[in-house]
């Protein structure tokens, strides 16, 4: 059984008085196996953020099915959604989403605090993770005292501390300089090699070339995919660039 199974997923936004409809996801089908590292690419407006929001159970699909470990998530009751997200998913955002009024340690503890874990248990989980991510010295600092790359590592610690089945990352390198981008990509690779499943939306060909598979979304559907296979990073980079330029042409359906 795949870790994530998305079937016939549709999302239509309807304006308040029903005058306008936008078919953001027209028919999305794909699966993600445990341990995969998948990037999602596509032009602006293709439906990537919509897809991520629906997968994250932050928004409801219009129809279709999303199974995470066999559990249908599109029909989970509102009252149970936050707990579901905390238990099963980890999030990494472009703008980090850290709370500036909490120090880094408390930001990382947040999902555990919400699950009523004891301080001692939280600390036991944090210490090896902070060490692995190279942020042990930053625990008492506040996010506004840290660089973008440091903040993103804190955000990754917050995502990983609950041992989620799936990390959903939305443009995680978008706010980072090239050195921090490289560090983050190496870190994602290490985390993935340690068994963590990652699904990442990105505009960056470089970021996507680190993934084991890239899905291309066009007009609200999965249009094409590339497997890394035994391609080098450079080979993957080229294959992604070629596909993107085909996608941007009107006759891209010949991919």
Ligand X SMILES: Nc1ncnc2c1ncn2[C@@H]1O[C@H](COP(=O)(O)OP(=O)(O)OP(=O)(O)O)[C@@H](O)[C@H]1O
- The residues binding ligand X (CB under 6 A) are 13, 22, 24, 42, 44-50
Half-sphere exposure of 32 (CA within 13 A, CB side): 30
Residues in Cβ contact with 160 at an 8 Å cutoff, skipping those fewer than 6 apart: 90, 129, 167, 191, 196
Beta strands in the chain (DSSP E): 4-14, 21-32, 37-41, 63-68, 71-72, 89-93, 166-170, 197-201, 213-218, 221-227
Burial of 246 (0-12, 13-18, 19+ CB in 10 A): middle
Nearer to ligand X, 50 or 181 (CB): 50
Residue 58 Cβ vs ligand X, minimum distance, rounded to whole Å = 11
Nearer to ligand X, 45 or 229 (CB): 45
Nearer to ligand X, 21 or 241 (CB): 21
Q: What is the DSSP string of 120-143?
A: HHHHHHHHHHHHHHT-GGGTTS-G
Residue 174 Cβ vs ligand X, minimum distance, rounded to whole Å = 10
Residue 170 Cβ vs ligand X, minimum distance, rounded to whole Å = 9
Residue 48 Cβ vs ligand X, minimum distance, rounded to whole Å = 4
Residue 202 Cβ vs ligand X, minimum distance, rounded to whole Å = 10
Residues in Cβ contact with 24 at an 8 Å cutoff, skipping those fewer than 6 apart: 11, 12, 13, 47, 50, 220
């Amino acid at each position: 059984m795949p870790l994530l199974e998305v079937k016939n997923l549709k999302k239509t936004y309807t304006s308040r008085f029903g005058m306008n409809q936008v078919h953001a996801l027209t028919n999305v089908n794909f699966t993600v196996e445990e341990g995969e590292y998948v990037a999602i690419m596509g032009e602006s407006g293709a439906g990537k953020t919509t897809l991520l929001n629906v997968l994250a159970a932050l928004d409801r699909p219009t129809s279709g099915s999303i199974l995470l470990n066999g559990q249908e998530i599109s029909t989970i009751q509102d009252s149970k959604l936050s707990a579901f997200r905390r238990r099963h998913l980890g999030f990494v955002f472009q703008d980090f989403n850290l709370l500036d009024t909490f120090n880094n340690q408390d930001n990382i503890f947040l999902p555990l605090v919400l699950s009523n874990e004891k301080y001692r248990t939280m600390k036991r989980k944090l210490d090896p993770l902070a060490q692995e991510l190279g942020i042990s010295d930053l625990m008492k600092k506040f996010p506004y005292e840290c660089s973008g790359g440091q903040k993103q590592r804190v955000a990754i610690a917050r995502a990983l501390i609950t041992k989620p089945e799936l990390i959903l990352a939305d443009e995680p390198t978008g706010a980072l300089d090239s050195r921090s981008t490289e560090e983050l990509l190496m870190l994602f690779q290490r985390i993935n090699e340690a068994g963590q499943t990652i699904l990442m939306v990105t505009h960056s060909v470089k970021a996507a070339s680190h993934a084991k598979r890239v899905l291309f979304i066009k007009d609200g559907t999965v249009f094409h995919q590339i497997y890394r296979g035994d391609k080098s990073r450079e080979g993957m980079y080229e294959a992604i660039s070629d596909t993107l330029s085909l996608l941007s042409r009107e006759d891209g359906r010949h991919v």
